[in-house]
Structure 1
Amino acid sequence: MTSGAGNGGRKWRTMGLAAIAVVAGMALMLGMIGAMEWTNRTEFCVSCHSMQTNYDELKKSVHYTNRSGAHAQCADCHVPKEWGAKVIRKVLAVNDVVAEIKGTLDTPEKYEAKRGELAERVWKYMAASGSRECMTCHSYESMGGPKQSTAARQKHKDAAQEGRTCIACHKGVAHKMPPREE
C-alpha cells in the first residue's frame, strides 16, 4: 500500500513540475514578445544618440509628414512584421546596441564617418528581403497610377514586371544619402 501512495505522489510531483514548466515557458514567451514590441517603439530607437540624427532626418521626410496623414515609425521600415523574420532582425540589431555602448557611433562625427557603411548594410538587407518592410504599406497593385507622373507610373510598372525591389530606386527616401566614395 505504501508503494501505491509513492507512485501517486510521484505522479502529482511530475504533473506539478510540468505545470510549472508550462507557466514559466508562457511567462518567458510573453516577456520576449513584450520586449520585442517595446524595442519597436520609436522612443526606444532614438534613445541612442546615433539614432537621433536619423530621426531628425525622418521628421523632414514624406514618411513622417504627408498629405495623407500616414506617419511611419522606425520599426515600420526597419523591422519585419512576421515573427521569424522579426526575431532574426532583432538579433542582428544587437550589433547597433553594442556599437552605441562601445562608443563607436556616439557622436555626430563618428556617425557620419560610418554613415555609408551603415546605409549599405541596410540597403543590402532590404534588397535581400525584397523590400518587405516597404511592401507593408506600398505595393505595385495599390499604387494610385493616375496620381503618379507618367514617368513614375512607367517605372513602377517596369519594376513590378522585372521583380525589382523598392530600395533599388528609392535609397535616401527617409534619410539623407551618405557621401559617395570616389
Structure 2
Amino acid sequence: MTSLWQRIKNQKPWAKVLEIQAIFLMMVGAALAVGGKVSVDHTNTLEFCVSCHEMKDNNYAEYSHTIHAKNRTGVKAICSDCHVPHEFIDTMIRKARASNDVLQHMLGTIDTKEKFEARRLEMAKKVWLRMKQTDSKECRNCHDVKAMDPEMQGKTAQTQHKKLLNGSRTCIDCHYGIAHKEPEGGVEPQDVLDEATHKQPG
C-alpha cells in the first residue's frame, strides 16, 4: 500500500486524479458486488420468504405439510429452490420482477385470506407458465430423470417420465399441485399449460 501511494505522489497531477478515481471506483464496485451477493443470498432464505404474513399464512402453511418440507430422508426444498433460478442472470431478472411482490404487499393486495384465495388462480397461472417455459428447470436442479429407477415407480409415473426424456412433457405438466393447494374456479391447470404450449412459437 505504501509503494502504491509513493507511485501516485510521483505522478503528474492529472494522472494522480485519474488513478485515485480508478482505485475508488474499483473499491465501490467490489463493495457493491459483495453487498449484492449478500442481499441475494439473504432474500433466498426461508426466513426472508416467510417474513411477510401473506406468504407465512398461505403458501408456507400449505408447503409445510408436503413432501418437499418433511419426508423420510430429511432432504427438503425451500421457496427459493423452486421459485428462483440458479443461474446468475436469470436470478437477477427474477429478483427484479419480484419487486412487484413488495409493491403488492404495500398495497395490501393479498393481505387477507379472502383476498389471497380470490387471486390464487391468477398467481398460480404465472408460476405454472414460467415453469412450462423453462422446462421445469427448477425441478430438474434436484430431480434427474435419467437417475430415476422406473422399477420403483407406478405404471403411470413410468409412462409420464418417458415423455420427460423425449421432451414431450415437463415436470409441471403433472406436478402442479405438489407444494401448494390447487386453485378453485373451474380452471384445470393442464388447460392453462396446454394453452401456453400452443402459444409458443414453432
Q: TM-score w.r.t. structure 2 length?
A: 0.83
- Cα deviation for residue 7 of structure 1 reads 6.4
- Alpha-carbon distance change, 6 to 62 in structure 1, aligned in 2, over 3 angstroms: closer
Give the aligned residue type for 1:153. Answer: Q
Contact 1:49 1:107 in 2 (8 A): no
* Deviation by residue 1:97-127 (Cα, 9 ceiling, x = unmatched): 1111110011111111100000001111111
**Residue deviations 1:58-83, cap 9 Å, x none?**
11111111122111111000001100
* Post-superposition CA distance 1:11-67 (Å, at most 9, x none): 122111100001101111111111111100111111111111110111111111112
Task: Give 1:1-40 correspondences, 5 Å limit.
Answer: 8-40=12-44
In the other structure, the counterpart of 2:105 is: 100
Following superposition, the deviation at residue 145 of structure 1 comes to 1.8
Offset of 1:6 from its aligned partner? 9.8
Q: Which amino acid aligns with 1:92?
A: R
TM-score by length of 1: 0.92
Segments ≥4 residues shifted beyond 6 Å: none
Contact persistence 2:160–2:169 (CA under 8 A): no
Residue 162 of structure 2 corresponds to 157
Count of matched residue pairs: 178
Any idea what SS the aligned residue of 2:12 has? Answer: helix
For structure 1, which runs of at least 5 residues remain unmatched after alignment? Answer: none
Residue segments in structure 2 that go unaligned for 5+ positions in a row:
1-8, 188-202
Q: Is the 8 A contact 2:70 2:76 kept in 1?
A: yes
Cα RMSD (Å)? 1.6
Q: How far apart are residue 169 of structure 1 and its match?
A: 1.0
Partner secondary structure for residue 44 of structure 2: coil
Residues 23 and 163 from structure 1, CA distance in 2 versus in 1: closer, same or farther, beyond 3 angstroms? Answer: farther
Using CA pairs under 8 Å that are at least 6 residues apart, name the structure with larger relative contact order, 1 or 2: 1
- Alpha-carbon distance in structure 2 between the residues aligned to 1:136 and 1:6: 55
**Identical columns (%):** 40
Does 2:118 align with 1:113? yes
For 2:76, which of 68, 71, 74 is the aligned residue?
71
1:122-178 CA distances to partner (integer Å, 9 max, x unpaired)?
Answer: 111111111110000012111222221122112101232134211111111000101
Q: Distance in 2 between matches of 1:39 and 1:79?
A: 10
